[in-house]
Copies of this chain bind each other. A is one copy, B any other.
Amino acid sequence: MERQALIDLLELLYSQKIDVDQAAEQLRNIPFHDLDFAKVDHHRSLRVGHPEVIFCQGKSTWQILEIVRHQISADETVFGTRADKQALDALKSEFREIEISETGRCFWRKSKNWKPKQDVKGQIVIASGGTSDAPVVEEARLSVEILGHPCIAIQDVGVAGIHRLFAHYSQLQKASVAIVVAGMEGALPSVVSGLISSPIIGVPTSIGYGANLNGMVALLAMLNSCASGLTVVNIDNGFGAACAAVRMNSLSV
């Protein structure tokens, strides 16, 4: 459509219905996003398969319901993260078709047009240190799935019982991309980075107490890893890790 606006303008000029000065003036007044530039945004929409992820933290239940009503009426894929129990209950009672993960604090409904990416060859593996990291693992896992990529999760393989990790060694080695989730001392991504050759995304969690500084220690430990190939996202940011993993995995087309 926007491209059409540009074409229309140029055709007016070509047919000499406006002159060069008028055309130049109008060109400058077309907002940038009306030009090719805005494709970035559209491209993103197409790529992730849903128009908008709803980050619910700080939004009222009423606001969330409004957005979801709008998206469902337009038959868009719905995906929301960081929803509290009150919001999830309200969604469940109003929309039968919405699926919910209390652990992952997420909800979703795939539109009719949603389908998994078919040309992606690799599988994303999510590994976590302890059972308390489950909310972050679940947020990452569901995000990857909604974005259409294959994914498995291996939980509770923290470094204090390192043999548990080795029991899953072959699964890890097959990962196209690994998301490694850990709280407390945040050591698991370092160990995994030394075991496999794929890109690793470390996700520190706020799990712990006392001098864990709400996850800052796990975050900083991952950034200071002596292992190469490891990059890091914000504390508890399962969704962000999923987005980055999907960008990486899309290279394996």
Determine if A144 is an interface residue (Cβ-Cβ < 8 Å). no
- State A160–B45 Cα separation when bound (angstroms): 14
A209-B235, A211-B215 known; A160-B227 Cβ under 8 A: yes
Taking a contact as CB atoms closer than 8 A, the residue among B13, B132, B159, B217 that contacts A191 in the complex is: B159
- State A31–B165 Cα separation when bound (angstroms): 10
- State A127–B77 Cα separation when bound (angstroms): 30
> Which of A43, A226, A236 has the most B CB atoms < 10 Å from its CB?
A226
The stretch among A16-24, A68-76, A93-101, A110-118 that forms the contact with chain B is A16-24
Chain B, Cβ-Cβ closest to A173: B40
Contact with B along A225-238 (1 / 0, CB 8 A): 11111111111110
Interface of A, secondary structure class, is helix
Are B10 and A24 touching (Cβ within 8 A)? yes
A72-126 with Cβ < 8 A to chain B = 122
Taking a contact as CB atoms closer than 8 A, the residue among B37, B162, B170, B232 that contacts A232 in the complex is: B232
A1-48 with Cβ < 8 A to chain B = 3, 6-7, 10-11, 13-14, 16, 19-20, 23-24, 27-29, 31-38, 40-41, 43-44, 47
Contacts of A158 in B (CB 8 A): 226
- State A251–B132 Cα separation when bound (angstroms): 32
Contact with B along A156-200 (1 / 0, CB 8 A): 001111111011111000001100000011110011011111111
Are A122 and B231 touching (Cβ within 8 A)? no
Are A221 and B251 touching (Cβ within 8 A)? no
Are B11 and A224 touching (Cβ within 8 A)? no
Are A160 and B247 touching (Cβ within 8 A)? no
What's the least CB distance linking A50 to chain B, in Å? 13
- State A118–B23 Cα separation when bound (angstroms): 37
Interface of A toward B, CB cutoff 8 Å: 3, 6-7, 10-11, 13-14, 16, 19-20, 23-24, 27-29, 31-38, 40-41, 43-44, 47, 57-58, 122, 129-130, 132, 158-164, 166-170, 176-177, 184-187, 190-191, 193-201, 204, 206-237, 239-241, 243-244, 247-252
User: Which 10 residue pairs across A and B have the least CB separation, nearest first?
Assistant: A210-B235, A187-B187, A231-B231, A160-B227, A228-B243, A32-B166, A31-B167, A160-B194, A185-B221, A199-B247
